[in-house]
Amino acid sequence: MSTHYFIAISVEGLNSELKTVQQTLDTSLFKHIVHPEDFHITLMFLGKATEEQLSDLGTRLKEITRNIKPFEIIPKGIGVFGKQSQPRVLYVDVEKGKSLERLHGLVIESCEAAGFKRDPREYRPHITIAKKWKDPEKHIGRNMPEIKKETHEISSIELYRVAPLEKPRYKCVERYEFQK
C-alpha cells in the first residue's frame, strides 16, 4: 500500500463541538466515523508523492505562509455529499471567506508547481464527520443538529500523511505557521 499525502487546515479548536455533532447524529449508519483528532479542512489532496516533490512543496509552502496572517473561519451547518437520505459524506460546512479562498489558491499553485495535479471540481471547504453509507434500507433523519457559528482562528496549514490502518489515521508531517 503506497503512502498518500494532503495539505489541510487543522481545526483542533472545533474538535469538542464536532465530536458533539457526531454523538448527536446516528453515525451508526456510516461505515467510517472520523476520529476527532482527524477533523480538518482539506486544501488539496496530493496522493502519492516523491521525496523531491515533498521537499519542493515544503519550500513553496514556507514561502507562501510567510505572507499570510492568521484569519478566522466560521462553521455554517451540516451538509452532505450524495443523496440527502443516504449521503456518501456527512460534513460540517465552512464559510468560504476571502482569506480561505486566497490561501486555497496559493496552496493549489504551490502544489501544481511541485508536480501535483489539481482536482478539477469546485473547492467546497468542509470538515468530514462520517462517510460511506452502510445500509441501503435505512435513511438519515431530516433533523440535523445545529452547529455553533463561532469563529475559529486559523494560523497554520499542515502536510499530512495518511495511515489508513491507524487511529487517528492522519499524521502531521510538517506544520507551516502563518506570519503573526
- pLDDT tens digit string along 11-61? 988 888 888 888 887 777 888 899 999 999 999 999 999 999 999 999 999
Alpha-carbon distance values, 24 to 32, 86, 133, 140 (Å) = 16, 17, 17, 12
Where residue 42 falls (left for φ over 0; alpha for ψ -120 to 50; beta otherwise) is beta
> pLDDT digit string (tens) for 51-78?
999 999 999 999 999 999 999 999 998 8
126 Cβ partners below 8 Å, 6+ apart?
Answer: 41, 79, 91, 92, 93, 94
Q: Set out the domains of the chain in order of their start, with CATH numbers.
A: 5-177 (3.90.1140.10)
Instruction: Please count the other Cβ atoms lying within 10 Å of the Cβ belonging to residue 58.
Output: 16
Tens-digit pLDDT profile for residues 83-135: 877 888 989 999 989 999 999 999 999 999 999 999 898 999 999 998 998 87
